[in-house]
Structure 1
C-alpha cells in the first residue's frame, strides 16, 4: 500500500532520522525502518549509522523491495551499509521482530482502519529497547492527522494512550510536499513493560 504522492523530501527525512545516533564497537545500535518505499529516508539513515550498527528494512510493496535490493547493490550510499542491512518483504504484522534502538515508520496510517493502526503502533513500541525511539509522520490536513493525533481521534483510545504515554516531541515540516507532522515517541524503562498491554479501543 502506497500512502504518499511523492518520496519523502530531504527535510522530512532529516526530521525522521534526527534522533538516530551511531553506536560504538562495544554498544552497536539496531535500527528498523518500516515502509522505506524507494529509500529516501533510508539514505539519510545510512549516513547516521555507526560502522557496527545494523539496519532492517520491512517493505510490503514488491516493486519497492526490488528497487531497494538494486539500490543496496548499486547506490554508493546504500551499498556501504549493505552487509549490515536486511531487507524483508511483507507486512510488518507478519514479521518476527527483534529489539531496536530506533524505529522509523513510513507506513500510510491514514489508509489503515483504527484497529490496524493501534496494533502496529503497539507492535513497534514493544519492539523498542528501553530508551528507544519511534519516529513517524502524518500529513497536515489529511486523514492521517485524525488517526495519529490523540486530541482529534478520541475514539481511538489505545493509540491516543500510546502517544500520550510516550511522546517526547512533535515538529512540523512545512517544506515537505505535502507538509507533515513528525512525531517522536520514547520508551523509557518503566513504560517498556507496559507498551504491550495498552487498553483496547
Structure 2
C-alpha cells in the first residue's frame, strides 16, 4: 500500500515523467517479462529502465538465477531510493538514478522498459531506442508498453507547438515499431489496458518460438 501511495503522489507531481497512472498489474508484468528465457549455458544480464516502484522488478528478480544480473535505471529519485532499499541485500541487482541518457549501458540479453514514450519528442524517442537496441546481445529482446488509446488521447489534448511536438514524437515511435517489432500483445487486465511491444535489433529473436510456447503455459496458469 505504501508503494501505491508513493506512486500516486509522484504521478500527481510529475505526471509527464511518470507516465503511468498506477503500478503495472500482474498480467502486464508477465507480458513484459515474456522473453526472459532461462539460459543454462551462461548468466543472463537484464536491464529495466523506468522501474518505478518495482512492480515489474519483482517479476524479473523472481526468475533470475544466482549468477544473473539486473541493472535498474530510474529517473525519479524517490522511486530509486525505494528500489535501492528493497534490493540492498541482493548482489545481483544494481540501481542507478537518473535518465537513461546519463548512463553508459552494458550488454544485455533482455531489456524491459517502462518509459512514457507518448510524452517524448521525436529526438528523445529515437535516441533512447538507439541506445537500448544497441545494448542488446545477439538474440536479445526489448519489451515496453503503452496504454491502449494513449496516442489518440495525446493527439486530442495537444495543441499549438505541443501538438507538433507530440505528432512528431508519435511518428518516430511508429517508425521504430515498424522496423523492430516481432510481436505485440494486448493486456486487458491492467489499469488502463495496455499494449506490449517486443522488439529486436534485426528480425525476430532466435528464441521467439520457445517464448511463444511459454506464453501458452502462462495463460493457462
TM-score by length of 2: 0.73
Mapping for residues 33-182 of structure 1, pairs under 5 Å: 33-73=48-88, 79=89, 82-143=90-151, 159-182=173-196
Match among 15, 20, 23 for residue 31 of structure 2: 15
Offset at residue 44 of structure 1 (A):
0.3
Structure 1 contact 23–53 (Cα < 8 Å) conserved: no
Structure 1 contact 109–144 (Cα < 8 Å) conserved: no
Q: Deviations over 1:132-159 (max 9, x none)?
A: 1000000011138979xxxxx7886654
Find the residue that maps to 1:20 and give its secondary structure.
coil
Distance 1:45 1:144, change over 3 A: farther
Q: Tell me how far apart the structure 2 counterparts of residues 56 and 155 of structure 1 sit (CA, whole Å).
A: 27
Structure 2 contact 122–168 (Cα < 8 Å) conserved: no
Structure 1 contact 57–86 (Cα < 8 Å) conserved: yes
Match among 40, 43, 61 for residue 28 of structure 1: 43
More helix, by proportion: 2
Find the residue that maps to 2:37 and give its secondary structure.
coil
Which stretches in structure 1 are left out of the alignment for 5+ residues? 74-78, 148-152, 192-201
Find the residue that maps to 1:116 and give its secondary structure.
helix
Find the residue that maps to 2:53 and give its secondary structure.
coil
Q: Tell me how far apart the structure 2 counterparts of residues 188 and 61 of structure 1 sit (CA, whole Å).
A: 32
- Aligned counterpart, 2:14: none
Find the residue that maps to 1:175 and give its secondary structure.
coil
After superposition, the CA RMSD in angstroms is: 2.3
Offset at residue 72 of structure 1 (A):
1.2
Q: Tell me how far apart the structure 2 counterparts of residues 122 and 3 of structure 1 sit (CA, whole Å).
A: 21
Offset at residue 166 of structure 1 (A):
1.9
Larger-gyration structure (1/2): 2
